[in-house]
Structure 1
């Protein structure tokens, strides 16, 4: 059953899916509407999952599920991945590419690039330890609420992508 994220506990399990490009308002509406329709009937082993969907930072679809009454199963997570793959094809964007890195450019816009390109940009000095990056591997609503989705490279696993030089500060 679809519920607002605000009604879910901090312990709710979270999945964050970033789009490789900004979406138009119509695409965003289609994506979030489709995901809400999916979680409205989402089940695990026949049990309804209490879940919510939210659009964050105008670039990320967040799906959260309260696993206190029914945990998401491997099959239910696979069903969500299939739904997202269908949305990728329909919208012509990437949502499931775990090799993409999302960061906030000096202009304030959110950029995305493959990890190799992120390393190249760091070596060129356009990305450094103070650059805000987005960590779609956060796994609880508490982490999202605490602001852990966006943090400086220096406080993220992304730091290993900077190499020895560390990029700009």
Structure 2
């Protein structure tokens, strides 16, 4: 099936968000979208074509959507998607898979990537605050994306754990 716009997809649709380790130039992004579009056009779960779409946001994030009302993506079909992304990683040298990164906007508005320990350190030093904009790539439904759960203040996302204060220990 040909990839279509997310607008026609129901809120219950399943999404996957992949962040590129660095911003892609126009040529790299076009190559990635071409590979993903080619894959989505024939994406199937147990022989049933999936109705799927993708978008590319901020030159960093690939969002893939599957209409679960048409067919549920299976483990094998999801593995096939990640296989295409692994091929693109090998071709471009840009990492797309893995969930250890924390994505956020720096004070200048630029999208940045940090490891969890690095982000914790940034929170400790005040370089990022509960008001800092973060990206929650763990959301799984189109309703969450449409409802603004992907991009927003760190204090309102799972990232809030980095700002929790541990009580000091008395005694020694």
Partner of 2:158 in structure 1?
157
- Inter-partner Cα distance in structure 2 for 1:163 and 1:114: 18
TM normalised by structure 1 equals 0.93
Partner of 2:170 in structure 1?
none
Partner of 2:16 in structure 1?
15
- Inter-partner Cα distance in structure 2 for 1:163 and 1:96: 28
Quote how far apart the aligned CAs of 1:147 are: 1.7
- Inter-partner Cα distance in structure 2 for 1:164 and 1:94: 33
The equivalences for 1:1-169 within 5 A come to 1=1, 2-164=3-165
Q: Alignment partner of 1:26: what SS?
A: helix
Quote how far apart the aligned CAs of 1:58 are: 2.4
- Report if the CA contact (8 A) 1:129-1:153 is conserved: yes
Over the residues paired in the alignment, what is the CA RMSD in angstroms? 1.2
Moved over 4 A (4+): none
Across the two proteins, how many residue pairs are aligned to each other?
A: 165
Instruction: List alignment gaps of at least 5 residues for structure 2.
Output: 167-172
Please give the per-residue CA displacement for 1:107-146, whole angstroms capped at 9, x wherever unaligned.
0110001111111111121011101100001111111112
- Inter-partner Cα distance in structure 2 for 1:163 and 1:36: 42
Quote how far apart the aligned CAs of 1:57 are: 2.5
Quote how far apart the aligned CAs of 1:4 are: 1.6
Instruction: List alignment gaps of at least 5 residues for structure 1.
Output: none
Partner of 2:169 in structure 1?
none
- Report if the CA contact (8 A) 1:119-1:163 is conserved: no
Quote how far apart the aligned CAs of 1:162 are: 3.0
Q: Alignment partner of 2:66: what SS?
A: strand
TM normalised by structure 2 equals 0.92
